[in-house]
Structure 1
């Protein structure tokens, strides 16, 4: 077991202590003091020294001494804590110093506060923060330190889940197979679980039961809603409705045939046929008069369209090349700036000279080295410096040359692009002139097209068509009244038919809703059966948990002399809730247990944890005056005792670790 003993703890300018030494002589010790004299500060200093936090696990607590208004009493002090530890008999010294950083800026007569610094020392040797942390972690991890140095930490600062994890880590968990084997009533559980563990199956069952309950609650509402949507068919006869519908459809068909005969009168049909013949002849005359011009217009339209497409292509090419020139100019500017910076950098490197001072004394014996050795070392350093300088200058020159080469290439590219833009612009101007001329020719062809209405034959046929249309109009006016009367009869029959079809559709809707209600009722029965089966499975998982609780609590409690633990709590509904309550003689730790019992229970837990982890660390017992008899422990005990008569903190060390307190 690794044994850590606090031999001496020294505080300087720490939380009101100008200088204080807690000297234990390597054994147990008592610290007596009235309230406010700094008993807890000693424990805060020890934890801050190792982990940068106080005993309440706060990293932002105030280290400096404050006045009555809460301001820092004195600045520019070094606040430090130092501890001499015996680790399995070997002394190690750890020291942490917290300081203000003040600097005087040029032109200012006063110092300026710039922040804080923390310095670390191990066995008198300054180390970096990371090295210091690694050394402390190698000594004891922070979480384990808290568990082993404070009797109240386990029960008052650890969360329930963390306490359970520690307890299970001490005794080991119990497998599901062990629990099932211990209770014959659980014999069917493995077949039910399948690939799941008990807890995941329980969660799945609870979730499914909740979903089933919700579905079952909604089913009556869905049935009621379906029944409300069912049509009333109590006074309807499906067969009679079907017969009436067929009769109305026959009557509508007869009336529609009568309307067709009225609309398609014999003389009207002859005149309509002649009108169609005239329209065909009119189209022939128009085509004969205009076909040649239309062909020329089509050719010219194609020519104009092709010119437009060529003009758009030229404009896009010019735009693309202009964008490329702009991009190249931006790159040229960037490369020129980069070359300027490289030139400055080359001058800086070229102006560098060797600043080398060789130690003229032997590092082993301290005697002055011979002049030839000193000169040799200087020459080697100078050669190395010049070689490195030449390499850097060569690299800078190469990078500058590459930048300027790229600039020249880009400028040449821009000149070529500008020439191409000028050529494309000239082509665009020429094409635009030709396009204007072609559009003018197209408009001339369009305005010179001959109007067919000026042709005598065309005018004669147009007049005949108008006369025929007038004749048809007169014929239809005489038949229009009869046609409208029959149309009104058809509309009335259609309205009756729609009403009867709506009544007939009610039977199909009624049947579908009946089938839906039946499906819902079957679903309700299936859900009820599934819920009953799941409730049985849930009971088995809870019985499993109760069996596991009995085995687990017995196994854990056997590791402790005084502390007992309750890991589960029975709920009103019969379920189990995960807890982690510490008990002493049946009294919960946070439910009426006095301070003395709390401390002794905490020491009992520390004893078991120390044995489990193989560590023994100093235990700080605050409010130790409440305990008349502490239980036995192998660790070093530092009691913090309230003593009204001691207005300054007084430390009383004991000669050995076993001396009674």
Structure 2
């Protein structure tokens, strides 16, 4: 078994503790202090050192490391908050250290430093490491989750979720395969076929969802059947066959009356006159077409010619507008180049006025003696030559740039002249087109005026007179037959109303038939749903029977691993179903349902013993509120008890003298205990025995 013991733990400026040392030397340790004096803070510091979290599994962003004043403000800034721990890992010493500090920076120009956040530094055996390297060293000793399980009696029952507790228990005891469970209960033989490869819990969810949906449908079906029955028409006083015979008889009478109306209205003389009227109207159309067709063709041709000239006119106008825009642009560019040329002329004139000036030191820069006249003259001539060469080069560049600017301006101006010539030519063309369009529109107006009015033609006028006469004669003939046909039509209307009433009554029988058919469908659906619900309930029973069988097999297997703790993995529901839980019991009392503090601690130690044996680890166990336990379960791991004593006076004087507080001498410690309630004391089993 791999053994981890705490040799020493030092807290500095951590959660209100200025400095405190736990000198355990690998042995069991008792830490005394009143409530709110920082006992739990020692366990927080131990876990924060290794994993950056406190005993409630919160990171340093969610719990306060710094000491706060009465209004919740940080009491003192720019402190280093440090935990250092020395561990004995199978007898080998490993020293871990974590330092949390504020980062202050004075920016350039700022009068004071500004807070920029926090930094955390890490050390292992005195060597600074990165966070990743530090965590790697910790993980090489023990996994964080396992360490928390083995160091806190309350972690398994109060921090782990139900699913994680079940996972740990099954890992310790060994889970059962589905084949083992199925083999142990013959009633479950058909379950694999039902599941068809689906997970048990997934299938139960499907059954539950489908059963709820079926229940809802079954409850709604009687209401739907009743609604259909209420909507079925009443046919108690109707005879379907008699209605069909009466409708057929009335329709036969309507057909004979309609034939009579047709005979009255379709007299022979009316038909002859209507035929002659259609012939006269056709002759009118022929005469009109003959008189107007040739002139209308010429009008169409002339209209197309006028439209074509208008299109050309619009095209030339757009071309002129484009050219005018280009002229404006070229004029702006030419003006800009002329302005540039003027600036370059001014620069050239200024260069002409520059005069060579040279002042050469006649003394040697090294020895300070006067230089020879020839050397001074040579230096002067060289400087003058360089000045003239540089001046000529600048003039040449300005001259070249000026000529280029003038040339570009002239190019833009030439383009303006050319475009203006094109615009003048297009304007002349526009004037010509405008004149042509005016002439063409005049010709078109003359052609339109030449279209003949057919009414002036004697032949066309004669046809109009004949058509008018025929229409009057047809109206006179029809008026004489209308009065006779009106009486027959009135009778036909009455007969049709009777048929409609009978057809409405006959349609009620169809409504009854459709309603009866719908009721039969709903009743069949109700029977099918009931059968499906029964099948699903049987499948659910088999799933729960599987769970019951597995629970019975697992209970003894899991509970045999523990001396005090017992576990309830499933809870029987009122309806006979099973709810998946993971409750810890001691003598039948649930951990979270009335178990006292001493029993909770001992049950937690019992779980730690089993887990430590399974995983092959022992680690320091921190027992908070240990004053309430008269007898602790023995453990393989080092025990660190956090105790609230009744008072310091009840401890022997020698023990009090030996257990000195971090606040100073024993006298100061006792005064702190009475006045400040902030004293912590540490003792080992050996020290307490020796003191007594």
TM-score (norm 1): 0.76
C-alpha deviations, 1:479-499, integer Å up to 9, x for none?
223333222221111111111
Q: Provide the rounded CA distance (Å) in 1 between the counterparts of 2:554 and 2:144.
A: 28
Return the match for 2:684 from 650, 653, 657: 653
Residues 235 and 644 from structure 1, CA distance in 2 versus in 1: closer, same or farther, beyond 3 angstroms?
same
Offset of 1:114 from its aligned partner? 2.1
Return the match for 2:129 from 112, 127, 130: 127
Q: Provide the rounded CA distance (Å) in 1 between the counterparts of 2:483 and 2:561.
A: 111
Offset of 1:93 from its aligned partner? 1.8
Offset of 1:76 from its aligned partner? 1.2
1:103 aligns with 2:134: no
Asked if the contact 2:303/2:444 (under 8 Å) is kept, the reply is no
Q: Mapping of 1:90-489 within 5 angstroms?
A: 90-296=92-298, 437=437, 444=445, 449-489=451-491
Q: Provide the rounded CA distance (Å) in 1 between the counterparts of 2:311 and 2:235.
A: 73
> Higher relative CO (CA 8 A, sep ≥ 6), structure 1 or 2?
1
Larger radius of gyration: 2
Offset of 1:306 from its aligned partner? 13
Q: Secondary structure at the match of 1:20?
A: strand
Q: Provide the rounded CA distance (Å) in 1 between the counterparts of 2:625 and 2:294.
A: 120
Residues 302 and 233 from structure 1, CA distance in 2 versus in 1: closer, same or farther, beyond 3 angstroms?
farther
Residues 503 and 67 from structure 1, CA distance in 2 versus in 1: closer, same or farther, beyond 3 angstroms?
same
CA RMSD of aligned residues (A): 3.5
TM-score (norm 2): 0.73
- Aligned counterpart, 1:25: 25
Offset of 1:434 from its aligned partner? 7.7
1:37 aligns with 2:37: yes
- Aligned counterpart, 1:535: 537
Asked if the contact 1:24/1:654 (under 8 Å) is kept, the reply is no
- Of the structure 1 ranges 139-148 and 240-249, higher mean CA displacement relative to structure 2 is found in 139-148
Asked if the contact 1:145/1:617 (under 8 Å) is kept, the reply is yes
Q: Secondary structure at the match of 1:635?
A: coil
Offset of 1:40 from its aligned partner? 0.6
Offset of 1:300 from its aligned partner? 6.9
Offset of 1:206 from its aligned partner? 3.0
C-alpha deviations, 1:78-113, integer Å up to 9, x for none?
111111122222222222111122222333332222
Residues 120 and 290 from structure 1, CA distance in 2 versus in 1: closer, same or farther, beyond 3 angstroms?
farther
Residues 297 and 92 from structure 1, CA distance in 2 versus in 1: closer, same or farther, beyond 3 angstroms?
farther
Q: Provide the rounded CA distance (Å) in 1 between the counterparts of 2:596 and 2:230.
A: 67
Residues 24 and 454 from structure 1, CA distance in 2 versus in 1: closer, same or farther, beyond 3 angstroms?
farther
Q: Secondary structure at the match of 2:145?
A: helix
- Aligned counterpart, 2:14: 14
Q: Secondary structure at the match of 2:5?
A: strand
Residues 102 and 497 from structure 1, CA distance in 2 versus in 1: closer, same or farther, beyond 3 angstroms?
same
Q: Provide the rounded CA distance (Å) in 2 between the counterparts of 1:467 and 1:182.
A: 112
Q: Provide the rounded CA distance (Å) in 2 between the counterparts of 1:3 and 1:454.
A: 131
C-alpha deviations, 1:140-175, integer Å up to 9, x for none?
332222212111011111121221122122223212
Asked if the contact 2:309/2:433 (under 8 Å) is kept, the reply is no
Q: Secondary structure at the match of 1:582?
A: strand
Offset of 1:7 from its aligned partner? 1.4
Residues 508 and 23 from structure 1, CA distance in 2 versus in 1: closer, same or farther, beyond 3 angstroms?
same
- Aligned counterpart, 2:50: 50
Offset of 1:522 from its aligned partner? 2.7
Residues 441 and 236 from structure 1, CA distance in 2 versus in 1: closer, same or farther, beyond 3 angstroms?
farther
C-alpha deviations, 1:530-558, integer Å up to 9, x for none?
33333333322222221111112222112
Q: Provide the rounded CA distance (Å) in 2 between the counterparts of 1:501 and 1:232.
A: 15
Asked if the contact 2:310/2:437 (under 8 Å) is kept, the reply is no
Q: Secondary structure at the match of 2:100?
A: strand
- Of the structure 1 ranges 210-219 and 146-155, higher mean CA displacement relative to structure 2 is found in 210-219
Residues 512 and 443 from structure 1, CA distance in 2 versus in 1: closer, same or farther, beyond 3 angstroms?
farther
- Of the structure 1 ranges 432-441 and 186-195, higher mean CA displacement relative to structure 2 is found in 432-441
Residues 563 and 253 from structure 1, CA distance in 2 versus in 1: closer, same or farther, beyond 3 angstroms?
same
Offset of 1:645 from its aligned partner? 3.1
- Of the structure 1 ranges 149-158 and 188-197, higher mean CA displacement relative to structure 2 is found in 188-197
Asked if the contact 2:29/2:682 (under 8 Å) is kept, the reply is yes
Structure 1: stretches of 5+ with no match in the other structure: 323-414
